[in-house]
Structures are given as C-alpha cells and as structure tokens.
Amino acid sequence: MEMELTGRQILVTGGAGFLGKQVIRQLQQAGASPDAIAVTRSRETDLRRLSACQQAVQGQDIVIHLAAHVGGIGLNREKPAELFYDNLMMGTQLIHAAYEAGVKKFVCVGTICAYPKFTPVPFKEDDLWNGYPEETNAPYGIAKKALLVQLQAYRQQYGFDGIYLLPVNLYGPEDNFDPRSSHVIPALIRKVHEAQMRGDKSLPVWGDGSPTREFLYSEDAARGIVMATQSYSEPDPVNLGTGYEISIRDLVSLICDLMGFDGEIVWQTDQPNGQPRRCLDTQRAKRAFDFTAETDFRQGLKNTIEWYRRNAVPQLA
C-alpha cells in the first residue's frame, strides 16, 4: 500500500545533519510540503528524555528516526557506554512515544555495525543475528539492533507500522569531517588535505589496509529511505547499499589520486582494522521497493572532496 506524503506531518530526527538534509530534500521531491516537515536538533531536543520524545511526536503522521550518537573506530573505543546508552534510549523511547501518539509510520534507520563480525559476504538481512558484532562498535550496533526487535514486537502486539533500514557506510557533501568522530572517507579526505597543506611526504593511516568496505552516497541513501517510507511496510529489515566492495588500501589510493597527493602511505598496524569485510546483499530493497543506488563511487568521492575544499577550513595542528 503506497503511502502518500502530500498532506502528511513528518518528523525527521537528526534532520539538520548530513543525511537528514538529504532526506528532507527527497521528501519534498516526493510531494511532502516543506511546512509539514519538523526537525529535531540535539542541542534543543534531548531524545534521551521520554518527555522530549513525547513532545516531538505530537501531531506527526510519519517519524523518520535518523538521530544517532555515532562516529568512527576512535569514538567507539573511547565512548562505548555513551554510544550504547544514548542510541538505545533515544530510539526505544521515541518508538514508544510514536506508538502512543498514534503515528502511522515509523522509519528506523539502523546501522551496518549491527551485523556479526564474521558475516558471509555479501551480508544478507537473514544473517543479522548469527553472531556478535565486531568488538569496537558492538555497543553501538547492539543498541541500534534492539530497535529492530522493538519495532517487530510492536507490530506483532499493536499492529504498529514500523520499518527498519540498514544503510551501509555513508559519505557525501556535508559529511562530518571532525577527526575525533568522523568515519573513514571524511577522515581520509581531511587527513590528505592537511598533509598537503603542511607539505608532508607521507600519510599515516590506521590498520593495514586489508579490510573492505562498501559506501553509499548520501543522496542515494536518502532516496532509498523515502522510497521505503512510501512503499515498504514489512517487519523484515532491509539493507541499503550498492553491492560494490573496496579495500581500505584501494580507497586510500583512490582518494590520494583524486586529491593529487603522491606521498608514501604509512600503515599503522598497531591500530585497529575494524570489521574484516563489509558488503551488502541489496536484493531485498530492489524487490521490495525498487531501490538501486545510482551514484558512481569515483564521482561521489569527487563531489565530497570538492565540497570539503570549498567549505572546510581545517585547523592545522
């Protein structure tokens, strides 16, 4: 049953963020009125408090939950307790408040970190529970995965229409380039840029370059989220990805090539690699709501690098 967005009141938590801005653009393209889209910002609305969640969902027809306390390996190692607590409390209370307020559709955006450390590649949604996540991001991944259980339980007991999406690592313009909390692509782009500014002849990179990752351009991810909001109403989780796998070693080479850096890459093998491989099976999204990623990876990286160089003035150490 297709959900019409025209005339709907829609709450996008985290709507001022990197992915949120793209989701709002895609919602408007799909017929949602700009005046009907509400956004929560963490500095104004603390979704870890039930009262804030209850206030945020009042009068809403659709809730798209993007808000998360999230970062790369460094943040996961430094603040595992905060990442577990903050993400669990935000999500579980928001879902409950939305159910109580009569929200018609709840779209929960989960995380690829929820998959077991050693998942057969490409990752199929049915393998989500076949093992413990990679240790460095397990607290975050498990907190987000608990929300899938909650949505399935609320569907079973209350008939609540909640869906759960699993986007792979995102990248694109307006990403988070803060070295303390950024993910791998923005972290590398900033690192290369700063090395060029200083005239460095080498580039230190965490790990040994062997892990593989898959990356989804933020605009594609947002389109997939909106398509699922309109056309998907099943309990099963759905991967959003490209099915294209690249090693960190090749990713670093590609970014250096696109940015014109020809120094030596120094692999810091005493630092963690993270999960060995990540690549998604994307068949369910194609079957369920006809989603396919469209952005060429090299072009997406170019767009991201250009945005960073135009908009960021990194503070050099």
Which residues belong to the active site? 140
Cα 99 from Cα 83, distance rounded (Å): 24
Q: Whose CA is closest to 164, among 122, 114, 220, 116?
A: 114
- Taking phi over 0 as left and psi of -120 to 50 as alpha, with beta for the rest, 14 belongs to left
16 is in an annotated binding site: yes
* 59 in a known ligand binding site: no
Q: Binding site annotation covers 183?
A: yes
Residues in the chain: 317
222 is in an annotated binding site: no
Comparing C-alpha atoms, which of 262, 108, 259 is closest to residue 186? 259
Residue 286 among known ligand-binding residues: no
Tell whether residue 267 is among the known ligand binding residues: no
Would you say 215 is a known binding-site residue? Answer: no
Nearest Cα neighbor of 88 from 132, 151, 145 is: 145
245 Ramachandran zone, left/alpha/beta (phi>0; psi -120 to 50)? beta
170 is in an annotated binding site: yes
249 belongs to an annotated ligand binding site = no
Tell me: is residue 102 an annotated ligand-binding position.
no
Consult the annotation and say whether 167 binds a ligand.
yes
Q: Which segments within 241-280 are labelled E, that is strand?
A: 246-247, 264-268
Q: Quick one: which of 258, 252, 271 has its CA closest to 300?
A: 258
The annotation status of 144 as a binding-site residue, yes or no, is yes
d(CA 234, CA 200): 52
- Binding-site sequence positions for NADP(+): 14-20, 144, 167-170, 183
- Binding-site sequence positions: 14-20, 144, 167-170, 183, 191, 206, 213
- Binding-site sequence positions for substrate: 191, 206, 213
